[in-house]
């Protein structure tokens, strides 16, 4: 099989890693490409120098390299219709149509789908004009969350302690601070609970959930500082009992997928629900993503048993039969990933800094280093490309052991300005200590 992974971050490195791992224990040959990939994918795949947003070039590459299956990592090409175009060309794709991907690319649309499907989510209202937005803010209790409706690369949601702050953010967004993405915005009730990332594989009709993961959105230890794309993640998560996951499946995934299908373009691929688990145990949806999470993928794929990527191929090829009577895939080990970001992330990340990366043998067998923002200079020296630089995954029998492996390796990878959290999975470690 000839497979193309679109994207070049830690998530896509993890997808290439899992595809290779699974191919090693299968009788099928795998020829793997990544576009654009990164220095980490070069040992697993042939990197094609095509940005993930260059749709025409990607389409041409799929033809030239006679790709059997394209797996689309990031949201931008999905929202732009890459999956639709490749399907029009008669090619198998893992990833939703642009219409179905609106669950991520338009938060206003996602809210509308949830309202119709009766899915629990924070109370909110949508605005394209400032005056009614300011009126709404004045009439509602603080804190409030102001969210750009469109894709804003993780910068679109601002938790505002006061109404004044919410009004300032609304003014800025509608004034164009996030470009088109913020020309429509949502003002939303603040929910106080524990966040959970739950991903489901689906062919538009049936759905199988992956183990729950927990992301660490804030830049600083103790969940302080600005929101980022994610500074670390772990799985499995203690609060995600089978009972809670069954409820998330029946109250969130099934009704949303039914509603999207009823609108004419069934959702195929992986659907990511960002949830707030309220103190009474009720799950409430914060957002949907039309793709694998980053960095959740860097813990989910190593924690899941071999053979996981066959589901992606089968869904893409339209021949999926979900595991019989199994609505959940279970992790066979714990995984914790620590993100190493560049100095200045997320606002103004530094680039071009030389990296000292120990070898795999030096880091140990319980560690996988996924590249995200790295490149090789003309002399072959590894350097930072800004943003999130690595995602360092540690594995273990339980979360504390996996966290220890991840942190020890994160400590040993060196570059000037390395910015990271030493407390990824702190909630789970606390729970383990209390048990
Ligand atoms: P979103 O892009 O909608 O997932 O928002 C990004 C992050 O902002 C979430 O992961 C939460 O940490 C936070 N957030 C978003 N909406 C809310 C909300 N209604 N209440 C509390 N926190 C929120
Ligand atoms: N980790 C959050 C995301 O992928 O959007």
Pairing of strands 374-376, 382-384: antiparallel
Q: Which residues pair with 54 in a beta bridge?
A: none
The mean per-residue pLDDT over the stretch 99-112 comes to 96
pLDDT for res 325: 59
Give pLDDT tens digits for 301-312.
999 999 999 999
pLDDT for res 216: 96
Q: Which of 78, 151, 215, 301 to mutate to test the pocket of ligand 2 (most atoms within 8 A of CB)?
A: 215
Out of 2-16, 28-42, 86-100, 151-165, which region has the weakest mean confidence (pLDDT)? 151-165
Share above pLDDT 90 across residues of the chain, in percent, rounded to a whole number: 93
The mean per-residue pLDDT over the stretch 390-403 comes to 98
Give pLDDT tens digits for 8-60.
999 999 999 999 999 998 888 999 999 999 999 999 999 999 999 999 999 99
Give pLDDT tens digits for 314-324.
999 999 988 76
Q: What is the pTM of this model?
A: 0.96
Instruction: Locate the ligand 1 atom nearest the alpha carbon of residue 154 and give its number.
Output: 2
pLDDT for res 9: 97
Q: Is 2 exposed, middle or buried (0-12, 13-18, 19+ CB in 10 A)?
A: middle
Q: Which of 296, 346, 424 to mutate to test the pocket of ligand 2 (most atoms within 8 A of CB)?
A: 296
The mean per-residue pLDDT over the stretch 195-223 comes to 96
The mean per-residue pLDDT over the stretch 264-291 comes to 96
- Find the 429 Cα to ligand 1 centroid distance in Å: 23
pLDDT for res 324: 66
Q: What angle do CA 220, 224, 225 make, to 5 degrees?
A: 75
pLDDT for res 328: 80
> What would the two tokens of residue 122 be?
């924070």
> What would the two tokens of residue 217 be?
């959105």
Nearest ligand to the CA atom of 291: 2
C-beta 230 within 6 A of ligand 2: yes
The mean per-residue pLDDT over the stretch 49-77 comes to 98
Contact call for residues 24 and 11 (beta carbons, < 8 A): no
- Find the 276 Cα to ligand 2 centroid distance in Å: 14
Closest C-alpha residue for ligand 2 atom 5 = 293
Out of 172-176, 225-229, 261-265, 426-430, which region has the weakest mean confidence (pLDDT)? 225-229
Residue 433 has pLDDT above 90, yes or no: no
For the chain, what is the mean pLDDT? 95
pLDDT for res 368: 98
Give pLDDT tens digits for 333-375.
999 999 999 999 999 999 999 999 999 999 999 999 999 999 9
Instruction: Locate the ligand 1 atom nearest the alpha carbon of residue 274 and give its number.
Output: 4
C-beta 298 within 6 A of ligand 2: no
pLDDT for res 284: 98
- Find the 316 Cα to ligand 2 centroid distance in Å: 22
Nearest ligand to the CA atom of 285: 1
Closest C-alpha residue for ligand 1 atom 16 = 286
């Amino acid at each position: 099989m000839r497979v193309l992974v679109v994207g070049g971050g830690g998530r896509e490195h993890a997808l290439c890693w899992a595809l290779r791992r699974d191919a090693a224990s299968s009788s099928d040959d795998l020829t793997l490409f990544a576009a654009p990939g990164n220095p980490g994918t070069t040992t697993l795949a042939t990197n094609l120098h095509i940005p993930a947003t260059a749709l025409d070039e990607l389409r041409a590459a799929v033809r030239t390299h006679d790709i059997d299956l394209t797996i689309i990592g990031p949201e931008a090409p999905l929202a732009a219709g890459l999956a639709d175009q490749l399907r029009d060309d008669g090619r198998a794709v893992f990833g939703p149509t642009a219409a179905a991907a609106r669950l991520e690319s338009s938060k206003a649309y996602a809210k509308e789908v949830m309202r119709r499907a009766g899915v629990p989510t924070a109370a909110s209202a949508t605005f394209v004009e400032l005056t009614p937005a300011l009126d709404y803010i004045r009439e509602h209790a603080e804190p409030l969350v102001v969210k750009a409706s469109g894709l804003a690369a993780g910068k679109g949601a601002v938790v505002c302690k006061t109404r004044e702050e919410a009004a300032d953010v609304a003014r800025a967004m509608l004034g164009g601070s996030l470009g088109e993405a913020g020309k429509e915005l949502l003002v939303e009730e603040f929910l106080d609970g524990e966040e959970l990332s739950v991903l489901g594989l689906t062919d538009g009709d049936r759905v199988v959930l992956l183990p729950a993961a927990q992301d660490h959105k804030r830049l600083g230890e103790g969940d302080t500082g600005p929101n980022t794309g994610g500074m670390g993640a772990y799985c499995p998560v203690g609060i995600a009992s089978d009972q809670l996951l069954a409820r998330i499946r029946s109250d969130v995934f099934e009704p949303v997928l039914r509603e999207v299908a009823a609108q004419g373009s069934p959702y195929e691929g992986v659907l990511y629900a960002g949830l707030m688990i309220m103190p009474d145990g009720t799950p409430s949806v914060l957002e949907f993503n039309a793709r694998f999470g980053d960095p959740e993928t860097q813990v989910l794929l190593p924690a899941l048993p071999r053979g996981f990527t066959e589901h992606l191929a089968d869904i893409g090829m339209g021949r999926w039969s979900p595991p019989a009577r199994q609505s959940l895939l279970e992790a066979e080990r714990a995984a914790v990933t620590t993100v190493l970001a560049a100095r200045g992330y997320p606002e103004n990340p530094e680039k071009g800094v030389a990296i000292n990366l120990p070898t795999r043998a030096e880091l140990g067998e319980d560690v996988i280093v996924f590249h995200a923002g790295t490149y090789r200079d003309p002399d072959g020296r590894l350097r930072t490309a800004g943003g999130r630089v690595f995602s360092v995954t540690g594995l273990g029998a339980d979360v504390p052991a996996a966290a220890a492996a991840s942190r020890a390796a994160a400590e040993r990878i060196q570059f000037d300005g390395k910015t990271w959290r030493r407390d990824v999975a702190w909630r789970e470690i606390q729970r383990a200590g209390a048990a």
